[in-house]
Structure 1
């Protein structure tokens, strides 16, 4: 029979867990079952906690609810004189499985000895949820660019690349379905749509064009016709005009134009069902009417996943969802996740569902390809949710806030099968937050991870000079960190796994500010550039922030080069088109032009200038 017990040993917010117990069981029996099922998680949080220090307490006044958020608030105020500590051989006695009758606890001072603090990523995640809950309604925020900007300046609500500094890791690295969607979109030209869908499906796309280009009196009229056709093409049944409410209350938080839920079953004794959003849409009768549609859609999604009733899904996943914007005859698809922060990224531009007779055929083919991709992607996402493992409303899985890369080859998966993400990587390049914690630049997709029980740095980027990195890493002494892997993921993103340089001190850090670099560091950089150029390779970004100080075996402080994003073959790799022109680049460096050895040497000569950034 299920026994409900409250505990803070699994996460700091408190959780209700369920154990299979009998009235004739002793406290020792119940605790043994607890350790068998939850021991790993408890020991992860409290490495120094001894099992004998954990007790089973009976609540003399059981709580008539087992909903975690409500129970946590009640337990914080619970009269401690009404808690009975059971001895190991005490029989637990009768209990009602629908009431909370027990607590599994340890003395607070014991927990304080070995308490594992939240990671930077967890703090960011919790702060994001709180920020969303406190924000005004989606329609208020999206009313105009002025209201959105004013709210945004209080703290980012979501990361969508506006402004550019408000960017984060690609959503394709967080979920299998998103990775496959992005991969297919990257290879649209290889898709033979006439062979992949039926003529009936193509006729449906044609009908959508006719419907979308009509003029409608209001949103409801457009919704009834256009969204019905989109629903058929995506093979998904939306709940229209769906109210988002707070669990246990009738008050409406907001209203979504349309959402689709997947039923997810809890693993365990109770097998409760929870509803997860896999898609959400916002509709405007015409583009430009009714405020900022992309903002309203993003905040509607955020409001839905930040509510109490979504706690279980939020605790077990990054809440991936496909967002769909329909504005007049235009449609746009996005991917959204709640990782450390909420990331909302467009998969497509606005697609015009119409056109003059001269080009409408090409538009129809393009739209058919995109719709077929999202039809398959949504089916994949639904399947992913249905297989999601979680254990209650407040049992948080640490992996929920970290990337879940989809490897393009089995060999890569085997090589990195022990890779586990631990936290955001603090490279020392951002100012600390008001709380004193390290600041995080989310544009730099850097993560601390473990590979074969060894701490490593994981980086996600669009391109990387693997050959140049390996050339320097194999030198004796090494002139770059050991490179464990550089793999292309499904979706097109490159994932780089390397050793962490001890100390994480760059040549741009305080201890080297306003002074020339040590001669040994300069010699190592010079040696590194000669080695690259002899192999026909270039680095492209030889600046102080990309030079790491390293103490050699003889005690001398040498240097390693890092940041090989632009590195590659001489004349075959190019400076980014969005090059930061505020940096004092070498003479001859131009946006989008080839990287040359002379540029590396010019930047090398500038290293003696302590003002260089």
Structure 2
């Protein structure tokens, strides 16, 4: 054993201790190189070099964890740049909360960010607010003790599920002192995403207003509805690709009522859309024409030939989707465009692929729009997802993109969608109003069909199943073509309203639109548009020949499927008459006689208009808006109800608990009158059936009165 071997013994001991105590420093390449060099120097020099390493890397000795403390990161803290690694992409997860500590947060997406020396918590928060279009809300940044590593963006939601409440987040995130740098040292291996920071977006409460000035509670008032629509568009940009998002695994998490960017397409039934005919008349016309018996229609030889060619191509078997699409590509063509030609549609900084679609170039400087989209599968069960779900996802990605900003500003983006699987063809209507709404307009077997009526005994009137199928398909193709033409005309009519978003000028021969150098154009300021204003039925004439114009303001119910709107009504001539607030209701059926009878007795709002509208395919009722007082009775029990005249009238007594169900505020937000609450001494024994939620000193709610009213009017109890 040489002198150098003996001299290296204490050095190895020191190296082992350093590895345990100062692992980040010891694993650095520079330190390892120094150790290799030490075998050629004496022991004293080795010790000097080891001590030098100790003081050369003081920052590496800090523990990567963060001390337990306050949840909220202090603005102004510098963000360190210690997170490095090849192909490591940093993302910041964004949660949405309603402001209560006990709330479960909702994951709304993630945004990329870069670790820069000058970065602060405040600058990161500002960047998140800009990317997510968050304004007027509190945004708090948290740093995770251990960063979450994922391989795909689609995994972020599932990986963050364990911390989606305030308690779990408190256990998973801490804050350093004001002057300490933030950011654990993490080295990326392979192509991964690193989630080290979390932003909690606390939605502000509804602006203070006098409870006595409100009756029905809309989903959102004007400004909130506008902001909510753009927020939903921002969230929809975080959706997965249409083919991935349409798989069952992701539909289970995305197709829920709480997901703002869900597809309202009756899957599940809770995601029911309103009738799309209120947003564009072509959807009502499509349904009406498809309901017309094909036997009563006349078709041209070209229409019959096209229908037969599509049936022949659809019923055949193909080894793959590509060959099927090649076969039907030239059969379906609208405005000279083969529908199944394949599209690459620009969506933000990337593109999505669609098996089919119809494009419309309006003018130079205006993005290409897509009145029709389609997805194709080689057969039922092929491709891993339903083509209807996939085309819904594609529509959401397109209309929520930054390229569609100006289009969203002036339109609800109506479109016709096709899901085609083997011989099964489904046509959907689609709009983006309060949410992404989809309505199935037709589902046709592209092949032989049984007749809708009994065979005719008249000579020459009978048809085979194949003949019936050809005529039904011909009817579908004609209806689709006519409706597509109407939607194209809708977008052309918007030309004067669409402002050029400062792009490069697209070529009319191209089906895509891409700005210079791969950059998106600068967003133009969006005019604030209320989604209720997209309702196309905006005027009517009374029996007295008086003409009125309607201006929609907001919804009047929390149920998306209930098409009841708050609007103002103005007489066309003379135009100087004051506007009147009204309620407009769209419904499939209505008891006009009963309403008018109660209105004459002062028990229902007066009706201004009630009729079935062909352009919508629904009954439309315009009635007077009756402002409420937001009062609750509270003690609705049998002893407090007196029948003054049996069978004719009743009255209530004992208004001790009666009062406002919300705090009454003045213009400065000061409480003028507090909401009423149940007394501490309320009897909650089994002898009285109270509504769920009734507690001592608990708030008295309208739902409690409604429950008691229904309970007391049951025929047998």
> TM-score if structure 1 supplies the norm length?
0.58
Whether 2:501 is the aligned partner of 1:371: answer no
1:523, 1:349 → 2: CA distance? 58
- Calculate the aligned-residue CA RMSD, in Å: 4.0
2:639, 2:551 → 1: CA distance? 36
**Aligned residue for 1:155?**
259
1:260, 1:456 → 2: CA distance? 39
Alignment of 1:194-593 (within 5 A): 194=298, 197-231=299-333, 236-238=337-339, 240-247=341-348, 249=349, 251-252=350-351, 254-265=352-363, 272-290=365-383, 291-354=385-448, 358-388=464-494, 389-392=496-499, 393-396=524-527, 398=529, 401-406=532-537, 417-426=548-557, 440-452=558-570, 453-475=579-601, 478-489=602-613, 490-503=615-628, 511-512=633-634, 515-516=637-638, 519=641
Partner-residue secondary structure (3-state), 2:535: coil
Instruction: Please tell me whether the aligned partners of residues 294 and 471 of structure 2 are also in contact (alpha carbons under 8 angstroms).
Output: no
Range that drifts further, 216-225 or 385-394: 385-394
Instruction: Please tell me whether the aligned partners of residues 210 and 354 of structure 1 are also in contact (alpha carbons under 8 angstroms).
Output: no
Alignment of 1:23-172 (within 5 A): 118-144=222-248, 146-153=249-256, 155-156=259-260, 157-172=262-277
Q: How big is each residue's C-alpha offset from its partner over 1:405-450, in whole Å with a ceiling of 9 and x where there is no partner? A: 4589876997564111101114xxxxxxxxxxxxx22022221111
How many residues are matched?
Answer: 401
Distance 1:526 1:450, change over 3 A: farther
Following superposition, the deviation at residue 223 of structure 1 comes to 0.7
Instruction: Please tell me whether the aligned partners of residues 424 and 443 of structure 2 are also in contact (alpha carbons under 8 angstroms).
Output: no
Following superposition, the deviation at residue 173 of structure 1 comes to 0.9
Instruction: Please tell me whether the aligned partners of residues 444 and 473 of structure 2 are also in contact (alpha carbons under 8 angstroms).
Output: no
Following superposition, the deviation at residue 296 of structure 1 comes to 0.8
Instruction: Please tell me whether the aligned partners of residues 418 and 451 of structure 1 are also in contact (alpha carbons under 8 angstroms).
Output: yes
Following superposition, the deviation at residue 515 of structure 1 comes to 3.4
Instruction: Please tell me whether the aligned partners of residues 448 and 457 of structure 1 are also in contact (alpha carbons under 8 angstroms).
Output: yes
Distance 1:474 1:328, change over 3 A: same
Instruction: Please tell me whether the aligned partners of residues 183 and 491 of structure 1 are also in contact (alpha carbons under 8 angstroms).
Output: no
Following superposition, the deviation at residue 149 of structure 1 comes to 1.0
Instruction: Please tell me whether the aligned partners of residues 264 and 272 of structure 2 are also in contact (alpha carbons under 8 angstroms).
Output: yes
2:547, 2:645 → 1: CA distance? 31
1:258, 1:359 → 2: CA distance? 29
Distance 1:200 1:245, change over 3 A: closer
Structure 2 stretches lacking a partner, 5+ long: 1-129, 135-206, 208-219, 451-462, 500-523, 571-578, 651-706
2:611, 2:472 → 1: CA distance? 30
Following superposition, the deviation at residue 176 of structure 1 comes to 2.6
1:518, 1:492 → 2: CA distance? 46
1:227, 1:406 → 2: CA distance? 37
Instruction: Please tell me whether the aligned partners of residues 513 and 610 of structure 1 are also in contact (alpha carbons under 8 angstroms).
Output: no
Instruction: Please tell me whether the aligned partners of residues 334 and 345 of structure 1 are also in contact (alpha carbons under 8 angstroms).
Output: yes
Instruction: Please tell me whether the aligned partners of residues 179 and 406 of structure 1 are also in contact (alpha carbons under 8 angstroms).
Output: no
Following superposition, the deviation at residue 376 of structure 1 comes to 0.9
Following superposition, the deviation at residue 127 of structure 1 comes to 3.1
Instruction: Please tell me whether the aligned partners of residues 418 and 426 of structure 2 are also in contact (alpha carbons under 8 angstroms).
Output: yes
Partner-residue secondary structure (3-state), 1:503: coil
1:280, 1:236 → 2: CA distance? 13
2:544, 2:420 → 1: CA distance? 38
Distance 1:163 1:514, change over 3 A: farther
Instruction: Please tell me whether the aligned partners of residues 165 and 443 of structure 1 are also in contact (alpha carbons under 8 angstroms).
Output: no
Instruction: Please tell me whether the aligned partners of residues 294 and 472 of structure 2 are also in contact (alpha carbons under 8 angstroms).
Output: no
Distance 1:222 1:501, change over 3 A: same
Instruction: Please tell me whether the aligned partners of residues 229 and 531 of structure 2 are also in contact (alpha carbons under 8 angstroms).
Output: no
2:419, 2:284 → 1: CA distance? 20
Whether 2:306 is the aligned partner of 1:180: answer no
Instruction: Please tell me whether the aligned partners of residues 514 and 611 of structure 1 are also in contact (alpha carbons under 8 angstroms).
Output: no
Distance 1:523 1:367, change over 3 A: farther
Partner-residue secondary structure (3-state), 1:485: strand
Partner-residue secondary structure (3-state), 2:488: helix
Following superposition, the deviation at residue 524 of structure 1 comes to 11
Distance 1:411 1:372, change over 3 A: farther
2:645, 2:395 → 1: CA distance? 51
1:528, 1:444 → 2: CA distance? 31
Q: How big is each residue's C-alpha offset from its partner over 1:506-549, in whole Å with a ceiling of 9 and x where there is no partner? A: xxx853465359758x88996599xxxxxxxxxxxxxxxxxxxx
- Structure number, greater radius of gyration: 2
2:538, 2:221 → 1: CA distance? 31
2:409, 2:645 → 1: CA distance? 47
Distance 1:510 1:372, change over 3 A: same
Partner-residue secondary structure (3-state), 1:347: strand
2:644, 2:446 → 1: CA distance? 57
Following superposition, the deviation at residue 219 of structure 1 comes to 0.8
Following superposition, the deviation at residue 128 of structure 1 comes to 2.2
Partner-residue secondary structure (3-state), 2:359: strand
1:487, 1:147 → 2: CA distance? 43
Distance 1:207 1:296, change over 3 A: same
Distance 1:465 1:416, change over 3 A: farther
Following superposition, the deviation at residue 282 of structure 1 comes to 0.5
